[in-house]
Amino acid sequence: MSAATATILTGVAIGATAGTSIYSATKQAGSASEAAKLQKSSTDQALAYEKERDAYARSTEANRYGAMMSQTAPFVSAGQGATGAMSRFLGLPAPASAPAPNQAMGGGAQGMGVQPGGAMITMRAPDGTTKQVPADQENHWVQKGAQRVG
C-alpha cells in the first residue's frame, strides 16, 4: 500500500467519521424536535382533560348544592313562618325574612287564632293597655270596649 492510498483511506475514514457525526447530530436534533412536539401534545391533552374534569366537578357540586337547598327549603320556610307567627302573636313586628303567614307550611298561623293575610291594627283596652290585633277582629274588640289607636 502506498502512501497516497493510505492518505486516501485515512481521508475517507475521517470523512466517514465526520459524515456519521453530522448524520447523528441531525438525527438527534430531529428526535429532540419530535420529542418536544410529543410532549407539547400530551401536555395539551392533559390540560384539556383537566378543564373538562373541573367543569364536570363544578357542575356536579352545583347540582348537589341545589338539591340540598331544595330539600331544606320547606324546613327553612316553616321556621321563618313560625318566627313570623310568634312575632305577630306577641305583638312584635315580623322579621324581614319571614314569609306571609299563608306561604308557610300548612297556612302559617291559622292554628293560633290569627287570620292569615290580615293587617294588624293597634287597639287600646278599657284598662289602658294596647295590643296589636288582626284588622278583621276590630269589631269584636270594639264591642268589648276597646278603641282603635291611630
Q: pLDDT digits over 87-133, tens only?
A: 888 888 877 765 554 444 444 444 444 444 568 889 898 888 888 88
Output the nine-digit C-alpha cell for 142: 270594639
**Single pTM value for the model:** 0.32
Which residues have a Cβ under 8 Å from the Cβ of 149 and sit 6 or more positions away? Answer: 122, 123, 124, 130
CA separation (Å) from 123 to 24, 28, 40, 113, 115? Answer: 104, 99, 81, 17, 17
Give the H/E segment covering residue 122: strand 120-124
Q: What is the pLDDT of residues 35-93, one digit of tens each?
A: 888 999 999 999 999 999 998 888 888 888 888 888 888 888 888 888 888 888 888 88
The Cα–Cα gap between 95 and 53 comes to 43
* pLDDT in the model for residue 47: 92
